[in-house]
Structure 1
Amino acid sequence: MNPSDPGHGDELDQEPDQTEGPDPNEEGAERCVFHIRNHVRKRLDSYLQGRLKGISRSRVQKLIHMGGVRVNDAAPKASTIVRRGDRLDVILPPPAIRTIDPEDIPIDILHEDDDLIVINKQADLVVHPARSQLRGTLVNALAHHFKQQQEAAGKSWSDWNTRGFKPQDRKRGAVSGLSRIGAADLRPGVIHRLDKHTTGVMVVAKNDDAHWNLARQFEDRTVLKAYLALVHGIPDGTGGVIDQPIGKHPTYREPYAVRHDSTGKPSVTIYRVRRRYRGYALVELELKTGRTHQIRVHLSYLGWPVVGDIWYGGEPVGETEFAQPPLAAGARRYLNFARDRDEGARVEADALARPDLILARPALHAAVLELDHPSTRQRVRFTAPLHEPMRSLIERLEAQGIEGTLARDGTHVDLGRL
């Protein structure tokens, strides 16, 4: 087990996924195009090592594997032979940062003690710095929080708290106040993640012993993680188990999909129907595994996409959709519906331009996290109140609830506390 690996967690944030190739739109990314006019006849990795000064052959091979190199607009292998007339398109990711700077970003702290800090994360907040977002993350906000604590206690705060000047320096990415595990990857204390747009409860370790303990609990799947999702359509019955493997989408680069082949990883979600509305439903979900976008993929696969989840066939909701629920693009069962980045951006832009818009991001909230406290060994539960606009939309829908059988047994979320 690697306790710094946030894969042992919840709905994972796609942005830091290291299997993704460089994005030419990233701040600091560099694009190089080579038109081959001579008879080269070299392996692609060997040729690029010679042309991209200061980059090792192993890094070139990783760049090729990640999709950062195209040959004649096709994905090559490291062993591809470069020939006259070829066009090589290379995207170099921005250089890695070595500093996690404190940033004054508001965070809702549900609990804090010597071992852990529990956050009710807001939407549009990435958990930790990565190649696609170097600052403005939850870890930057926590660095600011701990900086204020130290200064209030009369202690000084200096760059060494977050800076490491050499690649081999153990302080690289460390934040005073957080576990040092994962610091080299700029995710100190991070045991699990939430998607950028997913709100709700998450725990961060403040020391190494707590980090190891909590990571083991996530690894052993003894941590209770319960979510609420507002979905299009009305699920059958009162609930069930979604046991469908998940892997990368076969067509699009960013999304994931149910995959019944060698790329699919076992993925299990328990769902319970808590409320039925006209055209919508409020569903409680319990994760038994922690695959990237697991809840969103599983619900879309069954034809109940999350409201506002544009990537996976959910629709933005304005006053028009509130009054007359639409047939969502992802409403067909077993379709593995997904929109690519460009189409998703167009749908989102159109929604944000609407004066009647209510919600245009996934209505998905991590409501409950229950675990054994790493020091006391007592079972503790943390509940995160809903964020706007999901809260207001549900309150309005409550006025038009419809008859139907609801889950009673096995639920974990007290709707009255949200």
Structure 2
Amino acid sequence: MGGFGEGEGELLQLTYPKPLPMRLDRWLVAQRPEQSRARIQKFIEAGYVRVNGVTGRAKTPLRHGDRVEVWMPPPEPLPYLVAQAMPLDVLYEDAHLIVLNKPAGLTVHPAPGNKDGTLVNGLLHHCPDLPGIGGELRPGIVHRLDKDTTGCIVVAKSQEALVNLQVQIQKRIASRDYLGVVHGQPAADHGTVIGAIGRHPADRKKYAVVSDASGRHACTHWQVQERLGDYALLRFKLDTGRTHQIRVHSAHMGHPIVGDPVYSRCRRLPLALPGQALHAVRLGLDHPITRERLVLEAPLPAVFEQLLERLRSRLAKAGS
């Protein structure tokens, strides 16, 4: 990256309006939701952000009235994004967005160790205009689903739609409901887990509920839909969207998701599963252009239905 203001780009001049201090990087993410926190931090490290005329740092505390200048260079090149034909289960599509029913086993976007065969590669074949939307390696992606989590995912097809939908996620205008089968029986019929999520202190490949400053606020509401002997079918609703949030919060409750290879220690399952039994069943959002309320539902995968049938059958036999 070049110096401050060099070459093509956009100069933003902002004023911090809040009475309480906040880290520079966190505030800028809220101002530019189409940019990831990692990329915002790269801007800061490269000297692209000044606070009151002085080069800022990610941890710089902003105070009321501080003047913030941000030089936004053009999006980074996408060196290995290639269009690849693949079947897409489209639940809704127009000129501005597309909602898909994602299958298990499909990674959402490329990464250095997983350069193709992702949902983004399939989307680039289906929507050739995506590469300029959002930059980095996740063009158009509003939110993620884990590789083996199935169900509703929305992708923006324009920059305007991307920013609008990301704001809806942040402000909880968009609603996301999941169904998951968990080990054990929760004592109550419903509840809420509030616990900051950060990297696991002993295993950096995992996440956990943490008490130190590294964690990010996370809130998950849950309700029992069906009690199935040693298992239960739960409906989850997210207030936040942290990495592995439902999986981490379920394990923290003592009721990990069935089939979760990371957060569940149980390897004996009622049925062979491709991954965790977690499905994004329902997505509600305001259309970013027309403002019409859209509610999309994704049918349960066949293996999820088979799991429920197996557990119901076992319960019936145990009660006879």
1:329-340 counterparts in 2 under 5 A?
none
Answer whether contact 1:308 1:314 (CA < 8 A) is retained: no
Amino acid at match of 2:101: N
Is residue 394 from structure 1 mapped to residue 292 from structure 2 by the alignment?
A: no
Distance 1:378 1:192, change over 3 A: same
Q: How much has 1:237 moved relative to structure 2?
A: 1.5
Give structure 1 regions of 4+ aligned residues with deviation exceeding 4 angstroms.
none
- Say what the alpha-carbon RMSD is for the aligned residues: 2.2
Q: Secondary structure at the match of 1:311?
A: coil
> CA separation of 1:193/1:6 partners in 2, compared to 1, >3 Å: closer, same or farther?
farther
Q: Does 1:368 align with 2:282?
A: yes
Match of 2:213 in 1: 262
| Alignment deviations for residues 107-157 of structure 1 (CA, whole Å, 9 cap, x no partner) | 2111111111001001111111111211111011112223xxxxxxxxxxx
Q: Which residue of 2 aligns with 1:305?
A: 256
Aligned amino acid, residue 233 of structure 1:
G
Flag structure 2 segments of 5+ consecutive residues without an equivalent. Answer: 1-29, 40-44, 47-76
User: Which amino acid letter does the alignment assign opposite residue 139 of structure 1?
Assistant: V
382-391 vs 276-285, which deviates more?
382-391
Correspondence 1:203 to 2:184: no
1:381 and 1:102 map into 2 onto residues whose CA distance is 29
Contact in 2 for aligned 1:271/1:285 (Cα 8 Å): yes
Q: Check if 1:180 corresponds to 2:132.
A: yes
For the residues of structure 1 that align with 2:125 and 2:131, how far apart are their CA atoms?
15
Distance 1:372 1:250, change over 3 A: same
1:379 aligns with 2:293: yes
Matches within 5 A, 1:166-245: 176-178=128-130, 180-183=132-135, 185-245=136-196
Is the alpha carbon distance of 1:308 and 1:113 closer, same or farther for their aligned partners in structure 2, counting shifts above 3 Å? same
For residues 186 and 393 of structure 1, what CA distance do their matches in structure 2 show? Answer: 35
**Secondary structure of the corresponding residue to residue 366 of structure 1:** strand
Please state whether the residue corresponding to 2:202 is helix, strand or coil.
coil
Higher strand share: 2
2:99 equivalent to 1:118: yes
Gaps of 5+ in 1: 8-16, 19-57, 60-95, 147-175, 323-356, 403-418
- Report if aligned partners of 2:130, 2:157 keep a CA contact under 8 Å in 1: yes
1:180 positional shift: 2.5
Residue 181 of structure 1: CA displacement? 2.8
Partners of 1:118 and 1:177 lie apart in 2 by: 16
State the TM-score, normalized to the length of structure 2.
0.73
Q: Distance in 1 between matches of 2:159 and 2:140?
A: 8
Tell me the TM-score normalized by structure 1.
0.57
Alignment of 1:134-173 (within 5 A): 134-146=115-127
Judge conservation of contact 2:134–2:162 (CA < 8 Å) in 1.
no
| Partner residue in 1 for 2:26 | none
The 1:316/1:199 distance shift into structure 2, 3 A limit, reads farther
Checking the alignment, whether the CA contact within 8 Å between 2:105 and 2:274 is kept in structure 1 is no
Aligned with residue 3 of structure 1, among 33, 37, 48: 33
2:88 maps to 107
Q: Within 1, Cα distance between the matches of 2:35 and 2:152?
A: 18
The separation in 1 between residues aligned to 2:222 and 2:36, in whole angstroms, is 23
Structure 2 CA distance for aligned equivalents of residues 313 and 3 of structure 1:
33
In 1: Cα distance, 2:315 partner to 2:283 partner: 27
Q: CA deviation at 1:389?
A: 1.6
Amino acid in the other structure paired with 1:110:
L
Distance across 1 between alignment mates of 2:213 and 2:274: 34
Please point out which of 103, 113, 129 is paired with 1:132: 113
Preserved contact between residue 198 and residue 207 of structure 2 (Cα < 8 Å): yes
Cα offset, 1:104, TM superposition? 1.9
* TM-superposed deviation, 1:229: 0.7
- Structure 1 distance, partners of 2:91, 2:156, is 14
AA aligned to 2:132 is R
Paired position in structure 1 for 2:238: 287
Partners in 2 of 1:234 and 1:243 — Cα distance?
A: 19
Instruction: Go from structure 1 to structure 2 and tell me whether the alpha carbon gap of 1:360 and 1:209 turns closer, same or farther (over 3 Å shift).
Output: closer
One-letter code of the match for 1:220?
Answer: K
Tell me the residue number matched to 2:203.
252
What amino acid maps onto 1:365 in structure 2? H
Q: Deviations over 1:288-308 (max 9, x none)?
A: 111111111111011101001
User: Contact conserved, 1:309 with 1:316, CA < 8 A, in 2?
Assistant: no
Q: Name the amino acid aligned to 1:248.
A: R
Name the amino acid aligned to 1:204: V
Query: How far does residue 261 in structure 1 lie from its aligned partner after superposition?
Result: 1.4
SS at match of 1:216: helix
Q: Secondary structure at the match of 2:123?
A: helix
Q: Distance in 1 between matches of 2:252 and 2:235?
A: 17
The sequence identity of aligned pairs, in percent, is 44
Asked if the contact 1:315/1:360 (under 8 Å) is kept, the reply is no
Counterpart contact for 2:178–2:279, Cα < 8 Å:
yes
Maintained 8 Å contact 1:179/1:207: no
Query: What is the Cα deviation at residue 272 of structure 1?
Result: 0.2
